[in-house]
Amino acid sequence: MFTGIVEALGRIDRIEAVGGDVRLTIATDGGYLDGVNLGDSIASNGVCLTAVALPPKAFVADVSVETLDATTARRWQVGTRLNLERALTPHKPLGGHMMSGHVDGVGHLVDKHVDARSWRLGFEAPPAIARYIARKGSVAIDGVSLTVNAVDKCRFEVNIVPHTWENTTLGGLSPGDAVNLEVDLIARYLERLLEARSESAS
């Protein structure tokens, strides 16, 4: 599990094709990866990846065909910057919202404009997941926990404060860019509970 609070920025140093899928080497500066062990989970732009090797100041992760097809990972190139977050521990503050690191779909940035000292970003989500996005609810965009400010059918807006703008990859997005979306887990569970109640009543 993750919280959507980005802890560090990484970059892809190597992409290796292996047996039909890919193996990535993701590097980051400083000692962010100190204490990471083989098998640990690290969310990378919202995608939960497992460390299978730990070269100096980097980790290596395998990315399956399913993940390549369901996320923006297939678009990543050497040099692509990624938002990184290590898995939640019992002692880690829950500053964002509960996230699984399992991307629900790929959205696109539609527009962006300055809003006082912040930025207002508008995104379009696939119809299949847009129904889970509600005003004042939570959504993860490239692994960043954000509050939804407005919703209009498949489009929604979020506000990016200066700290988030400067310390995540969101500040580098341009209209048309693809992003990983993970909707609020509570919305998904609520829908399933209502479905089960409806089935039992029929």
Ramachandran angles phi, psi of 24, nearest 5°: -110, 145
Q: Where are the domains of the chain?
A: 8-86, 105-191
- Where are the extended beta strands (E) located within the chain? 8-18, 21-28, 41-44, 47-50, 58-63, 81-86, 105-115, 118-124, 138-141, 144-152, 155-160, 178-183
Percent of the chain's residues with pLDDT above 90? 84
pLDDT score recorded for residue 202: 66
Ramachandran angles phi, psi of 171, nearest 5°: -65, -20
Q: Class of the 105-191 domain?
A: mainly beta
pLDDT in tens, 94-114: 778 889 999 999 999 999 999
Q: Is the pTM of this model over 0.85?
A: yes
pLDDT in tens, 51-73: 999 999 999 999 999 999 999 99
Cross-strand bridge partners of residue 81: 11
Q: Class of the 8-86 domain?
A: mainly beta
Among 13, 156, 18, 180, which Cα is nearest to 85's? 180
Q: What single-letter amino acid sits at 123?
A: F
Range scoring the smallest mean pLDDT among 45-49, 90-94, 182-186: 90-94
pLDDT in tens, 72-84: 999 999 999 999 9
